[in-house]
Amino acid sequence: MPVLLLAQGDSKAKELLRRAIEARYGISPPAIDNLIMDMQGRVRAKVGPVMSWVPLQIRASFRFPAAIRWDFTARPAGVPVQRGAEAFDGSTYRQARGRRARIIDNPDVIHSLRHRVWAMAAVLLTPLGDHFVHLDAVDEYRLEATNTTLGDRVQLVLRDDYTLDQVQARCLNPDSGQIQTFSLRASTEQLPVDDMMLPKCIRAFWDDQPYYEVKPVHIENLTAIADAVFTLETDASSQA
């Protein structure tokens, strides 16, 4: 049975996405509406006067098509643990460092956060087959996916066997203050995580500069996620 796609767009783009989904999941891909993904890895961060790799834990929470949350914990050697969260509930973007949350109304910062998390959603592939997505083919192994609810767009680059190579988005790098290419690059090796096939490793870059690299370690799919999670009014870990 072929993969059923509800997305809008041209037939070539739909065929590229269908092949990418089959290369990842076979002919029975998982439905993804609400999803929590835990990841472990490392991030490039400034520790004292130098940049170095720092251990990192991430929890990404999704309620498609619009609600997203991104919790992280970084553990630099010799300094206090750094925790933070970013969330968009479909209308308002909030950011927290420690326990204090604030509303962010800078449109470039909002645009950047949504595009980076939409890129992570694109790594999962099947959310791109839903009715709120418009697909456009770029060339033989590239397609663009636009979230028509939010207007966010990413480009997917496939390998010649149609497995996902990387996802790219043009957006603000909050650290540099410049518009750059944010990319998530998937390893060639795929492994099952809680019965969902995923890339063994996902590496993030700003242009060609490494940003972070993570391995998915836990998935909760089709789980109920409280509205308060996406307004930073409750701890995302309480949803696990």
In a domain, 19, yes or no: yes
In a domain, 203, yes or no: yes
In a domain, 225, yes or no: yes
Based on the structure, what is the number of domains in the chain? Answer: 1
Which DSSP helix (H) or strand (E) runs through 54? strand 50-63
CB 24 within 8 A of CB 48: no
Q: Specify the pTM.
A: 0.92
Q: What is the DSSP string of 70-121?
A: EEEEE--TTS--EEEEEEE-SS-EEEEETTEEEEE--HHHHHHHHHHHHHHH
Beta pairing class for 202-206 and 209-221: antiparallel
In a domain, 1, yes or no: no
* Domain of 229, in residue numbers: 8-239
pLDDT digits (tens, 9 = 90+) for 112-155: 988 998 998 899 999 999 999 999 999 999 999 999 988 999 99
How sure is the predictor about 240, in pLDDT bands with cuts at 50, 70 and 90? Answer: low
pLDDT digits (tens, 9 = 90+) for 183-234: 999 999 999 999 999 999 999 999 999 999 999 999 999 889 999 999 998 8
In a domain, 2, yes or no: no
Distance CA 126, CA 22 (A): 10
In a domain, 135, yes or no: yes
Distance between alpha carbon 154 and the CA centroid of its chain, in Å? 11
In a domain, 3, yes or no: no
CB 200 within 8 A of CB 190: yes
Distance CA 58, CA 82 (A): 12
Quickly tell me which residue has 């089959």 as its tokens. 22
**What is the CATH number for 233?**
2.50.20
